[in-house]
Amino acid sequence: MLLSIPDLLTPDEVRDARALLEAAAWEDGRTTAGHRAVTVKSNLQLPLDHPVARQLGDLILDRLGRNPLFIAATLPLRVLPPRFNRYEGGGTYGSHVDSAIFPLPGSQQRVRSDISSTLFFSDPDSYEGGELVIEDLFGTQRVKLPAGHIVIYPGSSLHHVTPVTRGVRLAAFFWTQSMVQRDDQRRLLFELDNAVRDLTGDHPEHAALDRLTGVYHNLLRQWSTT
């Protein structure tokens, strides 16, 4: 499932975050790339322990925890702290699939990358190129969202970022381990959840609501890996 979530951050939060990112010291993005990705990656990235990365990462995690759409779509178990990248001067990231498992900093836990996410900080008209191109069962999708918006998509997807030929593209990216590992099952639960919410809004006393809610939770109970 590919889903765009608008306005995860407010315009003021985006402006303040962009100022911090513009002033930060960046490093070669290849330092965190895997053995295959390092051959196709050409961008800049904040060091994982950079104070700005920690500050903005905490802000993003807080907003994700308050966003009903993100929670309903991802059913998060663990979210890896966000990382931050910068593309300019022809910077690009060729076709790749994200690593399946990431260590959770400061713990012995691991995060399975069921869902990939990109949060945009740069306005689309401030740079040329920089589209996130995602290939999966839903076809090929080209994503370039307004600042403050986020896109989520299966971590198993083949994807790339087209060269940025003008301006600067700033973004955060991170991975979520879901309580439900399979994308098709998460999509069905998301559609059922939305249907229950719509029915509740239109017919709050409808007799089917309890049964449909029960189906949702019984499917979640059956499909959950926790």
Q: Which residues contact 191 (CB under 8 A, 6 or more apart)?
A: none
Residues 165 and 189 both lie in one domain = no
Q: Are residues 167 and 195 in the same domain?
A: no
* 102 shares a domain with 17: yes
Distances, alpha carbon 52 to alpha carbons 17, 31, 119, 123, 172, in Å: 9, 18, 16, 20, 12
Whichever domain contains 211, its CATH number is 4.10.860
Q: Report DSSP letters for 120-162, one per residue.
A: E-S-GGGSB---EEEEETTEEEEE-PPTT-EEEEETT-EEEE-
pLDDT at position 78: 96
Rounded to an integer, the average pLDDT of 168-193 is 98
Model's pTM, two decimal places? 0.94
Is 165 found in the same domain as 77? yes
Residues in contact with 4: Cβ distance below 8 Å, sequence separation at least 6, in sequence order: 143, 145, 149, 150, 151
What pLDDT score was predicted for residue 97? 94
Which of 10-17's residues contact partners 24+ apart within 8 Å by CB, and which partners? 10/148, 11/147, 11/148, 13/59, 13/148, 14/121, 14/147, 14/148, 17/56, 17/59, 17/121
Report pLDDT digits (tens) over 141-162.
999 999 999 999 999 999 999 9
Cβ-Cβ contacts under 8 Å for 44 (sequence gap 6 or more):
26, 27, 28, 29, 85, 86, 87, 88, 91
Shared domain check, 158 and 91:
yes
Query: How does DSSP assign 43-63, residue by residue?
Result: -EE--TT-HHHHHHHHHHHHH
Q: Into how many domains does the chain fold?
A: 2
Domain, as residue range, for 193: 183-223
Q: 164 and 188 share a domain?
A: no
36 shares its domain with 147:
yes
The answer to whether the CB of 142 falls within 8 A of the CB of 130 is no
Both 99 and 156 in one domain: the answer is yes
Task: Say how far apart CA 156 and CA 158 lie, in whole Å.
Answer: 7
Question: Tens digit of pLDDT for each residue in 112-144?
Answer: 999 999 999 999 999 999 999 999 988 999 999
Residues 38 and 107 in one domain: yes
> What per-residue confidence (pLDDT) applies to 29?
84
Do 97 and 137 fall within a single domain?
yes
- In this structure, are 78 and 96 located in the same domain? yes
Judge contact between 73 and 190, C-beta under 8 A: yes
Query: What are the tens digits of pLDDT across the range 25-81?
Result: 999 988 776 666 677 989 999 999 999 999 999 999 999 999 999 999 999 999 999
